[in-house]
Amino acid sequence: MKAFFIFFISLCCMGTLSAQNTVGLNFQTFIPTGELKKDSPDMWGGGFALTGAFNLRQSPVYLGGTLDFTRYGSEVRDGWHGIVMGDYRHRRQFEMTRLLAFVRISPDCDTNFYPYVDFNAGVNYVFTRSVLRDSAIEAPFDAYVDWDDFSFTYGLGVGVEFPLGNDILLDLNFKTLKSSKTEYLTPSTVNYDREQESYLFDVQRSRFDSFTFSIGIKAYLD
């Protein structure tokens, strides 16, 4: 991984500087690393990200932000839930939203592609939510959050953009992010106790470290 970053940094030569602001939509994978992978080896997911970057005065430096959404698990229990609740369909989603600010180094190397390096910092919001329905085709009669937690995250990203036209770019991006301790649930840590007629949560606590690969489309704003 270190060699990978060095390779991309070396591509950031000081040629003619691009001074265009961009906005983009990417689809991404989520793969746990470090402590999170050790504690929850079955976790993985996917989602999407919205990104915007603003150029600083004809320089190779950009300031920007990313808002992404990831679903890393889902489960459903359809049937009897005790005398009080009766028979219904309980869908539980395991999700995460990240809000990242970044400083991007992205000079124009006078080639047919544009490499960049991102320095990211922000917050994770990791949550599990429930949706209750009488059946799969009916509207929900209740919805709520079972568990949620915030944590700080930071890390590096590298990417490369390929022009598809005058104002459109294909974007490939890789991120490796570290995180503070986060409390969370997974499908394997939620169980229904038939005797107590209730769900039991085995809340996990790990550093929410991850690797993300994404592919998407960017557009110039000017």
For residue 216, the model assigns a pLDDT of 98
What would the pLDDT profile of 22-32 be if each residue is shown by its tens digit? 999 999 999 99
Share of the chain above pLDDT 90, in %: 71
Instruction: Check: CB of residue 185 under 8 Å from CB of residue 130.
Output: no
**CATH number, domain at 100?**
2.40.160.20
For residue 221, the model assigns a pLDDT of 85
Give me the DSSP letters along 45-56.
EEEEEEEEEEE-
For residue 32, the model assigns a pLDDT of 97
Instruction: Check: CB of residue 153 under 8 Å from CB of residue 122.
Output: yes
- What is the model's pTM? 0.85
> What does pLDDT average to over the chain?
89
Instruction: Check: CB of residue 211 under 8 Å from CB of residue 176.
Output: yes
Tell me the pLDDT band of 218, cut-offs 50, 70 and 90.
Answer: very high
Higher pLDDT among residues 72 and 80, named by residue:
72
pLDDT surpassing 50 at residue 93: yes
Mean pLDDT score, 161-189: 95
State the total domains in the chain: 1
Give me the DSSP letters along 167-217.
SEEEEEEEEEEEE-EEEE--GGGEEEETTTTEEEE--EEEE--EEEEEEEE
8-state DSSP, 3: H
Tell me the pLDDT band of 16, cut-offs 50, 70 and 90.
Answer: very low
Task: In whole angstroms, give the CA distance from residue 176 to residue 186.
Answer: 21
Task: In whole angstroms, give the CA distance from residue 68 to residue 28.
Answer: 9
Q: What angle do CA 100, 96, 106 make, to 5 degrees?
A: 25
How many C-beta atoms surround the C-beta of residue 110 within 10 A? Answer: 8
For residue 101, the model assigns a pLDDT of 98
Instruction: Check: CB of residue 152 under 8 Å from CB of residue 182.
Output: no
Instruction: Check: CB of residue 157 under 8 Å from CB of residue 121.
Output: no
pLDDT surpassing 90 at residue 81: no
Give me the DSSP letters along 146-164.
EEEEEEEEEEEEEEEEEE-
Tell me the pLDDT band of 96, cut-offs 50, 70 and 90.
Answer: very high
Give me the residue label for tokens 């690797």. 211
Residue range of the domain that includes 213: 2-220
For residue 14, the model assigns a pLDDT of 37
Mean pLDDT score, 113-142: 94
